[in-house]
Amino acid sequence: MYLLLDQGNSRCKYVLTPSLGILEDSVSGYWSNDDFEPSTWKRELEAFKDKQIQRVCVSSVASQERKLWFEALCQTTLNMTPEFAESAEVYVSQTLRKMTNSYDSPKALGVDRWLAMIAGFERSSEGFVVMDAGTALTTDWVCSDGKHRGGHIVAGHRLLQQSLLGETGGIAWSAEHDSELKGDLFGENTSAAVSLGAETMLKGYCYQVVKALSGQGASNELRIYVTGGDRELISGYLQQAIRELKLKHEVIIQPNLVLEGLSHWFSMNN
């Protein structure tokens, strides 16, 4: 069995699969990062002790210090050294098509973004967009010739709210006095004003992304793959924008897109 891990900013998602490449007969789940509290991670890893793990393959946006800490934990808990995926200049697909990284320093591209693009590339023979709606909302566009045209990184729904509630004393104080969210389009108390404001910003962002893609000559029938914890929220905003702009883009929700790309990456880099 192969243990695939996607260590994000808030959660660690996993897939347990008998083979690499296309994820078949796999079991998936996640646990909270819990600020990398050792007992939490040790307990979660110990649950895989009897699964006959052959390799531990990891996508991690954590610091090098955290990666070394996790490596030592895997060695003591599972008696295995984890292998970390890295962004690269080129990815060669199962059908020998090439996808190229737009970054001058390819490894500087977040590995989770690179792996999500790999999954989209393996799924689609045409151009596509990947949006990962986690702590940060990332967007990446890959053309039909496999060229990565670049992307965006913006604050996600929770982070937008936390940046106000955690960094502005007056707003936080006011929100503490709210027992519930009150209001529809505009908030009638501070908590609702912050929440609805964040939603409005993300709706506008999704609309502008869809509009910009059309203005840059992207196909009117582009596939947009959406993953991450807020995938349902973001996919709804995208679909609304597509209807308003009278386009034919297809929004496809894929909860394990990064893990799927991780599986392909290790399959092609044995």
Task: Determine if residue 237 is labeled as part of a ligand binding site.
Answer: no
Are 30 and 255 spatial neighbours (Cβ–Cβ below 8 Å)? Answer: no
Residue 208 annotated as binding? Answer: no
Does 261 belong to an annotated binding site?
A: no
Burial 140-158 (b: 16+ CB within 10 A, else e): bbbbeebebeebeeebbbe
Q: Is 34 labelled as part of a ligand binding site? A: no
Q: Are 17 and 2 in contact (CB under 8 A)?
A: yes
Q: Which amino acid is at 9?
A: N
57 is known to lie in a ligand binding site = no
The annotation status of 168 as a binding-site residue, yes or no, is: no
Do you know the residue count of the chain?
A: 270
Q: Is 25 annotated as a binding residue?
A: no
| Strand-strand pairing, 148-155 and 136-142 | antiparallel
Positive or negative, the Cα torsion across 202, 206, 208, 209? Answer: positive
Q: Which of 34, 50, 104, 112 is catalytic?
A: 112
d(CA 206, CA 240): 9
- Give residue 246's Cα distance to chain centre: 27
Residue 140, annotated ligand binder? Answer: no
Say if residue 95 carries a ligand binding annotation: no
Instruction: Based on the residue annotation, tell me whether 50 is a catalytic residue of this protein.
Output: no
| Residue 223 annotated as part of some ligand binding site | no
6 is in an annotated binding site: yes
b/e map 159-169, b = 16+ CB within 10 Å: bbbeebbeeee
Residues that constitute the known binding site for substrate: 103, 110-113, 190
Active site residues: 112
Binding residues for K(+): 132
As annotated, the binding site includes 6-13, 103, 110-113, 132, 135, 190
Which residue positions form the known binding site for ATP?
6-13, 135
